Amino acid sequence: MIYNPYGKSLNVSSVRLAGGSGSMFRINVDGSKGTLFRNIEIKPKDSLYIFIAVTIDPTGKNNPIMVSDSVIFETNGNTQKVQLVAWGQDMHLFKNQIIKSQTWTADKPYLVLGYLAIDSAQTLTIEAGTKIYFHRSSFLYVAGNININGTFQQPVVLQGDRLESDFKDIPGQWGAVIIMEGSTGNIVNYAEIRNATVGIQIGVDSTYLNQDLVLSNTKILNSSFYGIWAFGSTIHAWNDVIADCGQWALALLRGGDYTFTHCTVSNQGVLFSNRTQPSLVFSNYIAKTDPKTGGTIIYPGDLKNANFDNSIIYGNFDNEIGIAQIEQGGIFNFMFDHCLLKISPDLINVAGSSHFNSIISDKPPAFMKPSDYRFELDSLSAAIDAGSMDYAKLYPLDFKGNSRISDKGPDLGAYEFIPGGAH
């Protein structure tokens, strides 16, 4: 906007785009398009708008492009300048599409507008280093299956499409990865899922089918509601970090079969949310309100297993574990073995010692810098050497590829402490 703070009219001799007709920018001054405008009168204490747009031609390469120009003002012989800088990025665009089997590579980023759905019996394969951006309220639906093949050096990144620094830690910028009922063969390795509403939803509450996911070496960070939201599903997870959610970090509802080994869950809540739920909850039912009667309908499901081994579940609540069981829900098996937990001693006493083995509940994990999502262990952490070698031998390498089985004992969580290592 151009302001005239004076008590009499102001004449702006000229407003021009420095790059002229060759500029990638376009300007509109007080409703008129062009590159040069002369003798613009602004009444006392008034203002006018200048609208600016830019088109950055795609190059077909995975390189952000910066373009610059300036708007130059001349008033009473004085020259003023407003610098224009814009960034653009060529990308693959998907808008409200159902896709067949295909492979995504790191040649250019991918942008999802609205929804992207993987059709039933089809596979989306995503290679290391691929970046996927989601516009506001956009979702990825998996009816077939998804195969993410990232690496430690080149993870697959799924996040919102606002790349400004001000949006770095804003939760809820996009929807979720939703693995639909009956979807099997899903594999996610070395992915980073950031700033979603729900990181991964697997299954839906209205049906009871078996869908599964193998989740390894993956970070789910800063979700406005839930990190993982599962209904009667099968999840086999290791070396995962789930941190800072508006409510549950792990919600394993209406039964299922779950194993989390060498995982780190840390929940300090998120911006703009008043967290009321613990980091972890598991149940053998869900309860819904009958829209006709207003009563409660119970949907049961067998909790075949909910096993947490050599893991850390911590947060800023006094108790970060929620257990919800009804007898008519059927099977209800769970076990915490060699874990550091933020848990009420009363909950352990009520549930019984047969569900808890070698638990550290009176000491914090001493993460390196959780405010920056650094969940490596400090040298004084109680989680160091506190794990079972039986589980470590199943997954002998930590998130960074460090050995768990070459010292006195494996550490709890996704990271093995390395003396003198990089922090």
pLDDT tens digits for range 98-135: 999 999 999 999 999 999 999 999 999 999 999 999 99
Q: Helix, strand or coil for residue 346? A: helix
Check whether 136 has a pLDDT greater than 90.
yes
pLDDT in tens, 329-370: 779 999 999 999 999 988 988 777 899 999 999 999 999 999
Q: What is the mean pLDDT of residues 134-142?
A: 98
Give 206's pLDDT tier (boundaries 50, 70, 90): confident
Integer Cα distance of 23 and 54 in angstroms: 9
pLDDT in tens, 52-102: 999 887 777 777 788 899 999 999 889 999 999 888 888 999 999 999 999
pLDDT in tens, 145-202: 999 999 999 999 999 999 888 999 999 999 999 999 999 999 999 999 999 999 999 9
List beta partners, residue 241: 219, 264
Q: What is the mean pLDDT of residues 307-336?
A: 94
Encoded amino acid at 120, one letter: S
Q: What is the mean pLDDT of residues 237-266?
A: 97
Average pLDDT value for the chain: 94
Instruction: Say how many C-beta atoms besides its own lie within 10 A of residue 31's C-beta.
Output: 8
Give 421's pLDDT tier (boundaries 50, 70, 90): low
Cβ–Cβ under 8 Å, residues 282 and 334: yes
Indicate the pairing of strand 241-245 with strand 110-118.
Answer: unpaired
Indicate the pairing of strand 36-42 with strand 10-17.
Answer: antiparallel
Instruction: Say how many C-beta atoms besides its own lie within 10 A of residue 78's C-beta.
Output: 8
Q: What is the mean pLDDT of residues 315-326?
A: 95
Integer Cα distance of 226 and 231 in angstroms: 13
Q: What is the mean pLDDT of residues 209-229?
A: 97
Encoded amino acid at 321, one letter: I
Integer Cα distance of 257 and 265 in angstroms: 19
Cα 423 versus chain centre, distance:
23
